[in-house]
Structure 1
Amino acid sequence: MSDLVARLAERIPEITELAVQAVLRELPYYHQLPPAAIEVDVREIARFNLELFVRGIEQSRPPTEQEIARISHSASRRAQEGIPLGHVLAANYIGTRACWEAVAAMAGPSEAADVSRLGSYVIDYLLLLSQAVTDGYIETTMAVAGHDQQARAELIEAVAADREAPELWEKAGLQPWRDRTVVALRLAPPAVGSDITIAVDGRRRNREIREALSVAGPILDSLSATGGIVLLSGRFSYERLTALIQPLMTANWAGGWSCTDVPADTGAAIQAATEIAEVAQRLKFPPAVYPLTQVLFQVQVTRPGPARTALLESLAVVEKNADLWSTLQAYLDCGGNRRECARLLTVHVNTLDYRLGRIRMLTSIDPTQREGWLTFGAALTAHRYVNG
């Protein structure tokens, strides 16, 4: 049988691809997964199972505990992403079937006995595989849906509302934290696709964020598909948190950061971080986790109230004229540099001066003077935030 198994080992890459295509063809749920999920969750585990199958035959032994653990871990991740258990089991069955069909196709007439012995091993292996998948999936499902998760969800809700209590921490299996770091995340919704694609992609991203931030210490979170709050035990810099989160993101995102060593101030810290994240995302800041010190001006001028209303009203008359509107934005973005602004607009400096004069006449605010430039800058920031 060694010759047949050797030929099977040589064809593992080919059989892996056949198994993957069969899974995508026969299980529509998997076909709708994001490309990254197909690569990691289908192709890699299919190859691992085939290698494990061949290695078991070559060495005449069952899989080790470590090998079984990887299968269970893969099933655990599928449970976290909400893929139905039936589909997970079916995917493993289809992969095993592809392997068996390849064996049957390559075996010669004189290898009938070898094929028969391999058939017995396939059945045993499929049984073991199903048990490992089911165990890993059910264990995770029970944990995710269990008491601890509900208790932690209640705890972070209470912390955000400034009504935490020792019994809520105890119920969640935690000791109250003194030093706390808050990260408020604003995430772009997953790419447009089927409901399945969006749901799985969102769960995957949140799982990866939790795993990455757990490196910094224990966390509580209220993450959803579009973001939420992560509360960490201890004090961690926004630079470090950016470095942990950034590699996981493929789209526009922003984070707000705040720290406190006074538990009673956690609600205020969460509110501050939430405002920072919202401002950074709506104003299209480069993706990162930001502290208040880096967005003080933007946060202040975008808060609702009479001042913001007055700032927006100062732009209303300018916004009605396309030339004046584009000129004002370009002039502010160029830092008041007239020659640079004229070059950017492809107009003569005299034309630029005429337009700036028109803006001054219509609004009674002179953008060429320091006070007027600052006023229009604040107004444009508020406008971009409201319409962001």
Structure 2
Amino acid sequence: MSERPQSGLALLSRPETVCVVRESELDRVVRLAGSADRGPSTLRRHEIGPIAGLCSELVAALRADRSVDSAIGQLERGAVEWARDGIAVDAVLDMVHRCVRVILEPGDDIRASELVDLLGSVSAAVAAAYVRYALDVTGHSDHARDNLAEQLIVGSRSRIAARDCGVVLAAEYWVLAMDIGDESRDDSTDGLDERVRARRAMTRIRLELDRACDGDALAALSAQGGTVLIPTADRPEHHVDTVAAALSRAAGRRITVTVVRAELDDIPAAAECAHELLEIVRRIGRVGGVHRFSDFALEYQLSRPGPAQEYLRTVLEPLAVHPELLETLRCHIANDLNRRKTARMLHLHTNTVDYRIRRIAALTGFDAKRCPDLWYLRSALVVAGMPIEGKAK
């Protein structure tokens, strides 16, 4: 058989074992598939040619009872090129089916099951190629946006970097510090490694963040949490609550968020404040939800160095050798002194919770059942574990 001249089928190199389709047959397939009874194709003739050629080779291999793996592989590699050229995946799959219908002849000894398997393999190969291309493009874009977010957070703002990744910097942002819980709400018996679960949760978080914020949010995230910047324009404060709830549902994990409002140039200080606030929220045992500076202004002030902080450091010292009492106190305060909730959280009897609260009162001199004492205990929890001024964090 004479060698086929260079045409649309020359898109990819062919192994010698693959049947070469005659140019006249290819022209017929292109012409008929392009104007099939389903209506005119959205593809142009030079775009149909490579698809028609590969479909012809697939059907020829099926007729001869040969493996179609080589042709499927070439189709998948070709699909990457079509994705790069901006050809829609539905147009490619539609054309594959059109071409196969034209190529099949009434006398073909091909079982329906074989044809279904072939079309299934083709569809899977094309879809996989488009997904790989989309992930590759998105990955580069996300990397550039992540770098921009990191620059804004540390204070090295670059309008050039923003322009390079297609971002118009806003005048003001909601600055979110996020803690992503390490306990998945997904089925823990699914056999997946926790690292795989965390990676999938992070992918869902990024996709949901992009959806909930119309692609305007910038984020520097890890599996444990990070910082998110959301432009405030046309977004009231309660929008942050909506976004946080959506992210938690998407991740299947409890996400704790603290939020501070800041102008563009003040983002570094706001991010530092938001993460300090997040640490305070975590210390007093609050998990999940959105927490604002106004909710913890007093606790935040107590975290500043001074005589009050020095005194509060001594309040919980008697509990240092009783970690179970310290954990009970933290949970009890986080649960607004609801002994039943505390008991459920710690897998204890409510009487045991009452006993531990009495022990805390005996050791520290502060009774959590009394409002003035409770304030001191709560404040002491805020200060506990904070670095002492002059020492490295």
| Residues 202 and 224 in structure 1, CA contact (< 8 A), matched pair in contact too | no
Structure 2 unaligned segments of length 5 or more: list them.
1-36, 43-72, 77-107, 338-349, 388-393
Aligned residue number for residue 125 of structure 2: 130
Aligned residue number for residue 201 of structure 1: 200
Q: Deviations over 1:168-193 (max 9, x none)?
A: 22122122211211222100236585
Q: Secondary structure at 1:231's aligned position in 2?
A: strand
Q: Distance in 2 between matches of 1:377 and 1:295?
A: 11
Aligned residue number for residue 239 of structure 1: 241
Q: Distance in 2 between matches of 1:296 and 1:348?
A: 30
Q: 1:304 to 1:190 in 2, by over 3 A?
A: farther
- 1:160 matched to 2:153? The reply is yes
Question: How is 1:1-388 mapped onto 2 (pairs within 5 angstroms)?
Answer: 116-144=111-139, 146=140, 148-189=141-182, 191=184, 194=193, 197-215=196-214, 218-234=216-232, 235-237=235-237, 238-260=240-262, 262-302=263-303, 307-317=308-318, 319-320=320-321, 359-360=364-365, 374-383=375-384
Q: 1:212 to 1:185 in 2, by over 3 A?
A: farther
Task: Please report the TM-score for the alignment, with normalisation by the length of structure 1.
Answer: 0.54
Q: Distance in 1 between matches of 2:231 and 2:245?
A: 18
What letter is aligned with 1:159?
L
What letter is aligned with 2:265?
A
What letter is aligned with 2:254?
N
Q: 1:248 to 1:322 in 2, by over 3 A?
A: closer
| Residues 202 and 251 in structure 2, CA contact (< 8 A), matched pair in contact too | no
What letter is aligned with 1:218?
D
| Residues 177 and 263 in structure 1, CA contact (< 8 A), matched pair in contact too | yes
Q: Deviations over 1:138-173 (max 9, x none)?
A: 2321331x2x33332221111111220322221221
Cα offset for 1:382? 3.1
Q: Secondary structure at 1:174's aligned position in 2?
A: coil
What letter is aligned with 2:249?
P
| Residues 222 and 228 in structure 1, CA contact (< 8 A), matched pair in contact too | yes
Q: Distance in 2 between matches of 1:283 and 1:347?
A: 17
Query: Highest CA radius of gyration, 1 or 2?
Result: 2
Would you say how many aligned residue pairs link Structure 1 and Structure 2?
Answer: 268
Q: Distance in 2 between matches of 1:333 and 1:204?
A: 30
Q: Distance in 2 between matches of 1:178 and 1:309?
A: 39
| Residues 188 and 253 in structure 1, CA contact (< 8 A), matched pair in contact too | yes
Cα offset for 1:271? 1.6
Q: Distance in 1 between matches of 2:329 and 2:198?
A: 42
% identity of equivalent residues: 19
| Residues 315 and 379 in structure 1, CA contact (< 8 A), matched pair in contact too | yes
Q: Deviations over 1:39-81 (max 9, x none)?
A: xxxxxxxxxxxxxxxxxxxxx989x99xxxxxxxxxxxxxxxx
| Residues 186 and 254 in structure 1, CA contact (< 8 A), matched pair in contact too | yes
Q: Secondary structure at 1:251's aligned position in 2?
A: coil
What letter is aligned with 1:207?
R
Q: Distance in 1 between matches of 2:372 and 2:167?
A: 53
Q: Say which structure, 1 or 2, has more relative contact order (CA 8 Å, 6+ apart).
A: 1
| Residues 255 and 276 in structure 1, CA contact (< 8 A), matched pair in contact too | no
Q: Distance in 2 between matches of 1:358 and 1:385?
A: 22
| Residues 210 and 216 in structure 2, CA contact (< 8 A), matched pair in contact too | no
Structure 1 runs of 4+ off > 4 angstroms? 190-193, 302-307, 318-336, 344-349, 354-360, 365-373
Q: Distance in 2 between matches of 1:226 and 1:287?
A: 14
